[in-house]
Amino acid sequence: MLQFIALGYLLTKWSTGYLWTETDTNVTFHNLTSHYLDKNGANLSFSRICTKLNHIKDGIFRRDKMTLPILYTLRQCPYAIRARLGLRLAEQEIDIRDISLTDKPAEMLSITPKGTVPLLVLSNGDYIDESLSIMVWALNQHDPHNLLLADSTHLFTDMINLIARNDCKYIAALEHYKADIRYHNSDSMIYRNLCQSFLDDLELRLNKHRFFMCDHPSLADYAILPFIRQFSHVERQWFRHAPYPKLKAWLEQHYQDPIFSQVMKKKTLWQSEASTPSSYYETV
C-alpha cells in the first residue's frame, strides 16, 4: 500500500512541476517508483502508466541493438559521478567512455543530439540520459547492497522526497553559490545559507543513524554524495570549519570507500570506435 501512496505522491509532484531537472530534462522519480513496483509484482497498470510517462518525458529511447552497454561520461561532472556510482554498486559491466564536452564524439551525438552526460546506451538499443534513472535501471538489474530499501517500504517515500529536495532546490542554490564565489558576487552568502538549510537536515539525519535513511547506505546517500562533494569544494577552508561534523565524517567515509576511488579513476579520453573499451571490471 505504501508503494502506491508513494507513486501517487510522486506523480502529483511531477505533474505540478515540483520535480525539476538536472539541466533541462525532467528527473523522473516516478521512473524509480515504477521499477520498484515491477520488482515487487505490484499492479502492472501503475507500471504501464509510469512507462508511458517515461517515454513521453524522453527518458528512454529505442536505438539499434548492441552488446555491452555504453556509458558516455565526464569524470568530474556530479551527474556523471552519480551514474557511475549506481552502475558500480549494481556490479554492471559497462563500456566506459570518458569524453570532452568541447569535442563530443560523433558516435555519441548520433544517439541523441542533446549531447549531455551521463548517457547510457543499453544493450537492447534503448538509451537513458538522466543520472537518477541510470542508477535505478542498474539497481533493478542487481541491488546487492539493498540501496532501494526493498525490505523497508516505510522509508521509501522519505528517501525519494529527500532526493527530490536535493535535485529540485539544493542543486539550484548550489549552482548560484558556485557562480557567486567564482565571480566574487556579494550574494554568495545568501545562496550558501540556502544550501545550508539542506545540509542542516542531513546533519540531523546523521545524528540519528549512520547514513541518511538508516544504518546502512541507500540510494539517497549515493545520489546526493556528488553534490555534497561539490559544495565542500566551493570554499574549502570554510567547509573545514563548518558545523557539520557528522556530514564531514560521512563524506570522508565515502572518500575512503574503494568504490568511490574506482568510479573517480582517471581514464584516457575516448575518441572513436577503434578505442579499447575501459570497463569497471579491469584485470589487476
Residues 229-277 pLDDT 10s: 999 999 999 999 999 999 999 999 999 999 999 999 999 999 876 444 4
Question: Which range of residues forms the domain containing residue 182?
Answer: 153-261
- Considering the domain boundaries, does residue 243 fall inside one? yes
pLDDT band at residue 183 under the 50/70/90 scheme = very high
Q: For the chain, what is the mean pLDDT?
A: 81
Please tell me the distance from the alpha carbon of residue 118 to that of residue 108, in angstroms, as a whole number. 11
Determine contact, residues 192/242, Cβ cutoff 8 Å. Answer: no
* pLDDT of res. 273: 62
Provide the sign of the torsion angle of the four alpha carbons 46, 14, 86, 123, taken in this order: positive
Q: Tell me the pairing of strands 95-98 and 70-73.
A: parallel
Determine contact, residues 157/213, Cβ cutoff 8 Å. Answer: no
Inform me whether the pLDDT recorded for 194 exceeds 70. yes
pLDDT band at residue 125 under the 50/70/90 scheme = confident
* pLDDT of res. 21: 36
Provide the CB-side half-sphere exposure for 282 (13 A, CA): 11
Inform me whether the pLDDT recorded for 177 exceeds 80. yes
Provide the sign of the torsion angle of the four alpha carbons 39, 44, 49, 55, taken in this order: positive
* pLDDT of res. 80: 98
Higher pLDDT, residue 179 or 58: 179
Q: Poorest-confidence range of 6-15, 65-74, 79-88, 190-199?
A: 6-15
- Considering the domain boundaries, does residue 213 fall inside one? yes
- Considering the domain boundaries, does residue 21 fall inside one? no
**Domain of 230: which CATH number?**
1.20.1050.10
- Considering the domain boundaries, does residue 163 fall inside one? yes
* pLDDT of res. 154: 87
Please tell me the distance from the alpha carbon of residue 239 to that of residue 69, in angstroms, as a whole number. 38
Does residue 118 have a cis bond before it (omega within 30 degrees)? Answer: yes
What is the CB neighbour count within 10 angstroms for residue 158?
17
Inform me whether the pLDDT recorded for 87 exceeds 50. yes
Into how many domains does the chain fold? 1
* pLDDT of res. 30: 45
pLDDT band at residue 3 under the 50/70/90 scheme = very low
Kindly report, residue by residue over 22-42, the tens digit of the pLDDT. 443 334 444 444 444 444 434
- Considering the domain boundaries, does residue 39 fall inside one? no
What is the mean predicted confidence (pLDDT) over 138-165?
95
What is the CB neighbour count within 10 angstroms for residue 172?
14
What is the mean predicted confidence (pLDDT) over 200-228?
98
* pLDDT of res. 271: 85
* pLDDT of res. 123: 87
- Considering the domain boundaries, does residue 280 fall inside one? no
Provide the sign of the torsion angle of the four alpha carbons 204, 210, 213, 217, taken in this order: positive
Please tell me the distance from the alpha carbon of residue 115 to that of residue 230, in angstroms, as a whole number. 22
- Considering the domain boundaries, does residue 239 fall inside one? yes
Q: Poorest-confidence range of 119-128, 133-142, 244-253?
A: 119-128
* pLDDT of res. 10: 46
What is the CB neighbour count within 10 angstroms for residue 276?
8
